[in-house]
Structure 1
Amino acid sequence: MRFRTMNYGSWLFSALLMLQSAGAYAHPPGLSSLDVSIKPARIDAKVTFAVQDIEAFAPMDSDLDAEVTDAEREAAKPAIATLLAGQLRVGVDGQDAVLAEPGQVSFDEQNNAHVELRYAAMPKQELLVQSKFLALLPEAHQQYLTIKDGDGTTLTEKMLGKHDDEVKLPLANAAGIAATHSVFAAFGDFFKLGIEHILTGYDHLLFLFALLAVTHSFWPALKIITFFTIAHSITLACAGLNLIELPSSFVEPFIAATIIYVGVENIIRGDHPKGRHWLTFGFGLIHGFGFAGVLQEMDISSGDTGILLPLLSFNLGIETGQIAVAAIVLPMIWWLNNQVEASAKFLRGGSVAVSLMGVFWLVERTML
């Protein structure tokens, strides 16, 4: 029995270390947005990318000093506009539309690039939009496309990817079917995105692991997960109603700090620390802002609901993924915690590893 206990503990500990190694970049850019608006006599398009997704193809650090100045960013704008214009195909009634003027590029405080393009064309039968730039990006990159008419009515929405990078929209009766189609399509796309985000959000998973590592049974774990979910919901409401906005430059380091805190608390206080559910609630609010910021910073919205529907379905996907992970990990945690010889070593060893990874992320997000 002793051999099996130590083997099981070593397996889980090794899995945790592998998870940490894979999570050096806890939030890869990986998401962009494309908004197309059909106006009288023209088509407007706005593409929003994380700068990190673009700079490999339009270098900004011209003096190679590993620091991009405001002047260098400004000088890179024409190259970025040319790059995105060449990679975006807009087809109007079977013919490719041409740009009416050079693209306009701007940057925001979240390190995103916004490229605005204008085409002198007016589709009557069919509109084709193809984002060819996705073929150059990593396999997992996704781009949320929204097409609206001149009145702002959403005609269609779709999550584009490397192998599914275009939409053909017949304009006859498009507005009549838009509402139902857009709502269901948007919900499904963002629900899936939420699941993917939590499964690759290694900082959030380590935080959850550290919270649950002190539990021995179902009810304490359920209380922690429930309070985490309630905190996410409050954050979601605040973000959806634009009541509170926190910059990622604050949220991401704070998330790393929460991981360190919980890991250290596990080491000092051991099993059954009092008030763990309230700690979970408070820190869960910050993690929730991290989830919401993924969509807010990309200017993503959906039909008449704005950012609210994407945030709701995205958050629901996150919770579903979180529950699935907990269902797999918790039986292992409970089994180890109920082994007299292994429980203390498991909690200390796992918590030290979690805390060290939190320190790494804190340094990376504040100094590097």
Structure 2
Amino acid sequence: MSHAHDAFSGEAKAIINDAGAMTLELNLAAVTAEVFSQDIVNKNNQLSPENLSNIKSHLVAKAHRFFRVTVNGQPITASQVDIKIVSEVDAVIFTLDYPESVLGTLGFRSDYIAQTNPEYQLTLSVFDNQHTQLGLFIHNFSHRYDELLIDGKSRQANNDGVFSRFFSLGIEHILIGFDHLIFLLALLLVCRNWQAAALIITCFTLAHSVTLALAALQIVALPSVWVELLIALTIIYVGLENLYFKHRPRHRWLLTCSFGLIHGLGFANVLMDIGLGTSGAPIFIPLMAFNLGVEIGQLSLAIVVLPLLWYLRKWQHFEKTVLPLISIFIVLLGVVWAYERLI
């Protein structure tokens, strides 16, 4: 791992060799690792390469309790712990060696997360020594345990687990991503049939898929603060366009494609934060699953909102009064978000 995460996230990588022995590497931001040296009494507890010899035994004892690793329900213990402090990137890397075979049902419980910030998130990737990704897990305060079957004869990736994890993440992100939902609502306000809605949703999906893939491949990159600001500006623009063209804009699909590229960068930042492609892991399955989850989330919104909008259009005052008010509200939300993201 070449970089440290912020105080709210970390990365762990487990590599299992042909004999079944495992090396588990945990990469923490220095500010997170400092939590585990604060209870050192009568000794300098500074996390620095120069001071590592003074605090190493204390940190090693802590590291043995970071993870509860089990094989077929039985706990196994690391035989050796190595610690490296990388000042250049404010990272502390713990490497734990497990010489016992982990073939069977391998379980990971991230006990150390309980000592960190409630918003903390860990991305745990499991590989064999041919670099096939066997599993990918996301641990946080409410979900700290996962297991997978390690078969010494099989080198097939655990794609079902990876797919389901990123599929559910895609659904979750679109449903809790209020700015993406408001943008989609602004687009759908002008749709008068399912064909128009399907075209808009498909264009949005294809566009954000392009930039999501490019960002995941590290071909395109923008600072998240600028991406979030641009997303707010797209919301303002669509709301204003609805008002200016009296909710009958032309070529809405083209606008959707253009702005969908920006929203794709927003989705990419989410996946980068949880370690998509960590340590060179494959990205095709996670990307496909995440996009499918987003698409399902968007369709769910459309299925609920569009019939309601079409029913309300029968009311003579709805199009002249209510729709403009909704668009004004959307514009104001975009302005508030843009202001918050500028300061």
TM category (shorter chain) comes to 0.7 to 0.9
RCO higher in structure (CA 8 A, sep ≥6) = 1
What is the alpha-carbon distance in structure 2 between the residues aligned to residue 360 and residue 257 of structure 1?
A: 10
Matches within 5 A, 1:343-362: 343-362=319-338
Corresponding residue of 1:196? 172
Matching residue within 236, 254, 275 for 1:260: 236
The alpha carbon displacement at 1:95 in A equals 3.7
**Aligned pair in 2 of structure 1 residues 229, 114: CA closer, same or farther (>3 Å)?**
farther
Whether 1:308 and 2:279 are equivalent positions in the alignment is: no
Corresponding residue of 1:122? 99
Matching residue within 194, 198, 207 for 2:183: 207
Deviation readout 1:336-366 (Å, 9 max, x if unpaired): 2342212222222111211111122112222
**Aligned pair in 2 of structure 1 residues 307, 348: CA closer, same or farther (>3 Å)?**
same
Deviation readout 1:110-138 (Å, 9 max, x if unpaired): xxx86521124423245653212444679
What is the alpha-carbon distance in structure 1 between the residues aligned to residue 227 and residue 294 of structure 2?
A: 18
What is the alpha-carbon distance in structure 2 between the residues aligned to residue 219 and residue 315 of structure 1?
A: 21
Residue ranges of structure 2 left out of the alignment (5+ in a row): 1-6, 37-46
Deviation readout 1:155-175 (Å, 9 max, x if unpaired): 33334454542345675x345
Deviation readout 1:252-278 (Å, 9 max, x if unpaired): 111111011111222222121112111
The alpha carbon displacement at 1:106 in A equals 6.9
Whether 1:158 and 2:144 are equivalent positions in the alignment is: no
Whether 1:242 and 2:218 are equivalent positions in the alignment is: yes
Corresponding residue of 1:100? 81
**Cα RMSD between the aligned structures?**
4.0
SS of aligned partner of 2:204:
helix
Corresponding residue of 1:43? 23
Whether 1:148 and 2:127 are equivalent positions in the alignment is: yes
Identity %: 34
SS of aligned partner of 2:83:
coil
What is the alpha-carbon distance in structure 2 between the residues aligned to residue 56 and residue 331 of structure 1?
A: 54
Aligned partners of 1:48 and 1:298 also within 8 Å: no
Q: TM-score, normalised by structure 1?
A: 0.71
Amino acid at match of 2:137: K
Amino acid at match of 1:43: T
SS of aligned partner of 1:102:
strand
SS of aligned partner of 2:82:
coil
The alpha carbon displacement at 1:192 in A equals 0.7
Q: TM-score, normalised by structure 2?
A: 0.75
Corresponding residue of 1:333? 309
Amino acid at match of 2:232: A
What is the alpha-carbon distance in structure 1 between the residues aligned to residue 33 and residue 332 of structure 2?
A: 31
What is the alpha-carbon distance in structure 2 between the residues aligned to residue 88 and residue 240 of structure 1?
A: 29
Aligned partners of 1:264 and 1:355 also within 8 Å: yes
Amino acid at match of 2:265: F
SS of aligned partner of 2:156:
helix
**Aligned pair in 2 of structure 1 residues 106, 286: CA closer, same or farther (>3 Å)?**
farther
SS of aligned partner of 1:306:
coil
Corresponding residue of 1:281? 257
Residue ranges of structure 1 left out of the alignment (5+ in a row): 1-28, 59-72
What is the alpha-carbon distance in structure 1 between the residues aligned to residue 283 and residue 163 of structure 2?
A: 11
**Aligned pair in 2 of structure 1 residues 297, 337: CA closer, same or farther (>3 Å)?**
same
Matches within 5 A, 1:51-70: none
